[in-house]
Chains A and B, each alone.
Chain A
Amino acid sequence: MDTTEIRLCGIGGQGLILGARVLAKALVSEGRKVAQSQSYEPTSRGELSRADLLVGDEAPDYPLATALDLALILDQAAAGACDGLLKPSAMVLADSEKVPAPPQGAFTTYSYPFAAAAAELGTTRAANMAALGALVALSGICAPESLIGAIGAIGSRSHLARNTDAVHAGLRMVRDASPVPDPAKPRPGS
């Protein structure tokens, strides 16, 4: 049974858990089964926060992350949050400004200006959505349309247009960027 393990991490307030809910909704709309868990304690307010998704065609036996295929890191405080859990084939997406020293290892790290792109749209609070756009574009875990549909279903009505713009910005970051470092590398979970 193929399961893709995804961790979204950063600091409390960056919308990581909302991001996980949106991505989970998108995946379920495509018929996938998702198990989501997240940090749950007072330290997640302004400190390390994370949300994990396990995605497959069947519900996983064990629903918590043990070997990550994809990781999104939005703050330096979370740079160590995936230590020991990243597969060699994993893809790590980090915010180029907020995570000056992303984790190093056998996995592949990509840095993109999520926060800066969101700031251009009027608020850095949409950085999570830009990051999800890039994550979807890079991994192909779901269709971009599914992600945008999920934002419409879950996210705030008043922020729908800006969040959708942020997703598009994230998608463009990957599509317009130079080729993926190792095109032969298999997709996570494949």
Chain B
Amino acid sequence: MSVQVRNLQGNEACALGAIAAGCRFYAGYPITPSSEIAERMAEALPKVGGAFVQMEDEIASIAAVLGAEVGGTKAMTATSGPGFSLKQEVLGFAAAAEIPCVVVNVMRGGPSTGMPTRPSQGDMMQARWGTHGDHPVIALAPASVSEVYTQTARAFNLSERFRIPAVVLYDEVIGHLQETVDLRESATLELAERKWARGSPATHLPYAETDDGVPVMSRPGDGHRDHMTGLTHGEDGFPTQNPEAVTRAMDRLLGKLERDRDAIDAVDMLACEDADIVVVACGIVARAARRAVRDLRAEGLAAGLFRPITLWPFPEQAFARAAEAAKIVLVAEMNAGQLRLEVERLCPPGARVVGLGRIDGTPIAPAEIRAKVQELTQDA
């Protein structure tokens, strides 16, 4: 048997997926339950000509990642809730200055220090709105070890292509789960590379509008002038408060998320076509929901599963189709109802949204989801 088929831990798969995507720099500060990512990167990066730095804290880590990215090296950092909070300021800088980067958040119980070793999905909204101001961000939510590998790689591709920070978001269970994976299945991975400035340095504008809304990046040393700032800036990269220029810049910045949603959106659906009840879930909870939906179907109940793989921006169109025939949408999540807010916003008028939350540091089991669906079916 090929050595490509083996048991791999979710956090290890994250590191390997990053390397496969071309990541050659990692700066991080270890934190439970993400530390194996740093361990694995420290081991693997030197072997492929990359570099690993353990920084003094989480803020410095993401700042170093941005430095590497500006220099043209794909880079990543990984953390958990408290560290993700610290990284938010620099994440906002990455969004504003349009510097690609990948930030992994392995979710543990919160708020604050919370429960470091226990799983949670309490950072769903933080992944979208953790940093201040209107900003674009992409968040991917894998639900298996092999998907951690492919979605981490995809995070690099999306971040490079759109110059938007990409967050890989999964719970502690997925991070520490070990599953049998076949890495040959991922060998066909296509890598996206960012667009570099190639025109005349004399006329180069670092944030000029382009056909796809993504400005070309100036490679240091090539002679193209650049100015990167967190201040709102115009096409030349210099700060502006001119309302028209700001509107144009912000519309382009935010519009990057909308111009090619087909490339960004990704979902997994099971039996939604004729479902009376559609369960929405991510990560380990989606694994429980998948089992529950199969069991419910075997009992004759018309249940389905909608799993956003791209969590942010939320795949609205796919969800609208999945919930088209539903009478009830059940949002199962390991938090107090964060994803439910988004689902309520998007739910077709004919359907009722119900939440099933858990915030005690234990995963939601298939039997809980099954029982909730049975209860809701009886009430309906």
Contacts and interface: CB of A to CB of B under 8 A. Distances in A.
Interface of A: 21, 24-25, 28-29, 31-38, 40-42, 59-64, 66
A66 B367 contact: yes
Interface stretch (B77-85, B97-105, B173-181, B350-358): B173-181
Contacts, number: 67
Interface stretch (B43-51, B67-75, B134-142, B288-296): B288-296
Given A21-B178, A34-B7, A59-B179, 7 more contacts: A28-B1, A31-B1, A33-B179, A36-B177, A62-B290, A66-B366, A66-B367
B231 interface: no
Contact of B287 (A31, A33, A34, A62): A62
A62 B366 contact: yes
B7 A63 contact: no
A59 B33 contact: no
CB-based closest 3 A-B pairs = A41-B117, A61-B291, A36-B178
Given A34-B7, A61-B290, A40 B1 contact: no
A28 B1 CA distance: 9
Contacts of A32: 180
Interface of B: 1, 5-7, 33, 117-118, 144, 172-173, 176-180, 284, 287-288, 290-291, 294, 363, 365-367
Given A37-B173, A41-B117, A28 B5 contact: yes
A35 B179 contact: yes
Given A40-B33, A41-B117, A66-B367, A34 B290 contact: no
B367 A33 contact: no
Given A34-B179, A37-B177, A59 B144 contact: yes
Given A28-B7, A59-B144, A33 B180 contact: yes
Given A31-B1, A40-B33, A63 B177 contact: yes
A81 B33 CA distance: 23
Most chain A beta carbons < 10 A, residue from B7, B117, B144: B7
A141 to B, nearest CB: 15
Contact of A21 (B7, B172, B290): B7
A33 B290 CA distance: 18
Given A28-B7, A29-B1, A31-B1, A62 B177 contact: no
Given A24-B7, A66-B366, A40 B176 contact: yes
Main secondary structure on B side of the interface with A: mixed
A143 B62 CA distance: 48
Given A24-B7, A35-B178, A36-B177, A63 B33 contact: no
A6 to B, nearest CB: 13
B108 to A, nearest CB: 10
A40 to B, nearest CB: 5
B180 A59 contact: yes
A64 B285 CA distance: 11
A18 to B, nearest CB: 13
A29 B287 CA distance: 25
Contacts of B177: 35-37, 63
Contacts of A29: 1
Contacts of A36: 7, 177-179
A77 to B, nearest CB: 19
Contacts of B117: 40-42
A21 to B, nearest CB: 7
A66 B365 contact: yes
A89 to B, nearest CB: 19
Contacts of A34: 7, 178-180
13 contacts: A25-B7, A32-B180, A34-B179, A36-B7, A40-B176, A42-B117, A59-B144, A61-B294, A62-B290, A62-B366, A63-B144, A63-B284, A64-B365
Most chain A beta carbons < 10 A, residue from B172, B178, B288, B367: B178
A83 to B, nearest CB: 15
A61 B287 contact: yes
Contacts of B290: 61-62
A34 B367 CA distance: 21
Contacts of B287: 61-63
A37 B1 contact: no
Contacts of B365: 62, 64, 66
Contacts of B288: 62
Nearest to A54: B179
B213 to A, nearest CB: 39
Nearest to B116: A41
B289 to A, nearest CB: 9
A33 B117 CA distance: 26
Nearest to B6: A28
A8 B180 CA distance: 19
Nearest to A41: B117
B179 A64 contact: no
